[in-house]
């Protein structure tokens, strides 16, 4: 299935303004028919031409059957859409109705969507990899290895709370290196579990020991 994109600019273009000026009483009917025709094209791979699955041009009767719209409305709206001053629809050599600027409605919009989707997906994957990499770095530093899944969950909560992960790593390292920080320099049974330490925000204690 093709992507169809209708924006505000679609209905504010010169062609639509001309159609409104020529037939103001039926403007909404004409735009409704136009939207149905675009949808039909979007369901097929016909480059903006109204054709059946076999490639046969769709007649107004065919369109009425598929869309459920009155054939009279379809005929009148196609006439307006095909007006030389409006220039939205044309007819191919074998009689198929065709959107004259199909790229405006489909190809460019689809390409734009795909570019945005790929960029968004790549950014999300890169961020997930960064979070995982930083967690592994922090896990290596933290002196007590226990309940790693819970620690990873706590780490992700930091992300949701917009905590600077690099700063957490630096703080953890500083506290590991500070012999006066008792929680890390005692019997390991008294060292907080990683998830507990993160959830309680104890990385901020570095400020007390640096003061």
CATH code, domain with 32: 1.10.10.10
Same domain, 12 and 88: yes
Choose the final residue of a domain: 53, 78, 105: 105
**How many separate domains does the chain show?**
2
Same domain, 87 and 163: no
Phi and psi, residue 104, nearest 5°: -65, -35
Whether residue 1 lies inside any domain: the answer is no
Same domain, 130 and 99: no
CA torsion, points 59, 64, 65, 66, in degrees to nearest 10? 90
Whether residue 30 lies inside any domain: the answer is yes
pTM comes to 0.49
Same domain, 148 and 84: no
Q: What pairs with residue 49 in β-bridges?
A: 98
Alpha carbon 114 to its chain centroid, in Å, reads: 9
CA distance 75 to 92: 17
CA distance 66 to 101: 23
The answer to whether 146 and 198 are in contact (CB under 8 A) is no
- Cite the beta strand spans of 67-211 per DSSP E: 89-91, 97-99
Percent of the chain with pLDDT over 90: 46
Whether residue 3 lies inside any domain: the answer is no
Owning domain of residue 175: 124-210
Choose the final residue of a domain: 53, 76, 105: 105
Same domain, 81 and 163: no
Which residue, chain included where needed, has tokens 């919009």? 109
The answer to whether 138 and 172 are in contact (CB under 8 A) is yes
Secondary structure class of 89 (helix, strand, coil)? strand
**pLDDT tens, the chain, 211 aa long:** 455 556 556 666 788 888 888 888 988 899 899 989 888 887 777 778 889 888 899 999 999 998 999 999 999 999 999 998 888 899 999 999 998 877 776 545 566 667 778 888 899 999 999 999 999 999 999 999 999 999 999 999 999 898 999 999 999 999 999 888 888 888 888 899 999 999 999 998 887 755 4
| Six token digits for residue 111 | 């390409």
Q: What angle do CA 84, 86, 89 make, to 5 degrees?
A: 80
Whether residue 2 lies inside any domain: the answer is no
Whether residue 149 lies inside any domain: the answer is yes
Same domain, 130 and 43: no
Same domain, 20 and 98: yes
């Amino acid at each position: 299935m093709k992507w169809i994109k209708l924006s505000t600019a679609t209905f504010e273009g010169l062609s639509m303004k001309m159609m409104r000026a020529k037939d103001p009483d039926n403007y909404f009917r004409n735009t409704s028919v136009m939207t149905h025709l675009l949808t039909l094209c979007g369901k097929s791979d016909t480059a903006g031409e109204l054709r059946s699955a076999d490639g046969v041009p769709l007649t107004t009767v065919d369109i009425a059957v598929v869309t459920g719209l009155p054939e009279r409305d379809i005929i009148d709206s196609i006439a307006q859409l095909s007006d030389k001053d409006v220039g939205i629809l044309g007819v191919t050599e074998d009689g198929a109705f065709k959107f004259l600027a199909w790229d405006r409605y489909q190809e460019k919009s689809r390409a734009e969507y795909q570019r945005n989707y790929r960029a968004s997906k790549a950014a999300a994957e890169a961020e997930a990899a960064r979070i995982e990499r930083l967690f592994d770095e922090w896990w290596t530093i933290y002196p007590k290895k226990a309940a790693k899944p819970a620690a990873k969950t706590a780490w992700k909560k930091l992300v949701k709370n917009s905590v600077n992960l690099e700063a957490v790593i630096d703080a953890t390292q500083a506290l590991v290196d500070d012999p006066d920080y008792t929680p890390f320099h005692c019997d390991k049974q008294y060292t907080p579990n990683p998830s507990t330490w993160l959830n309680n925000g104890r990385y901020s204690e570095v400020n007390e020991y640096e003061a």
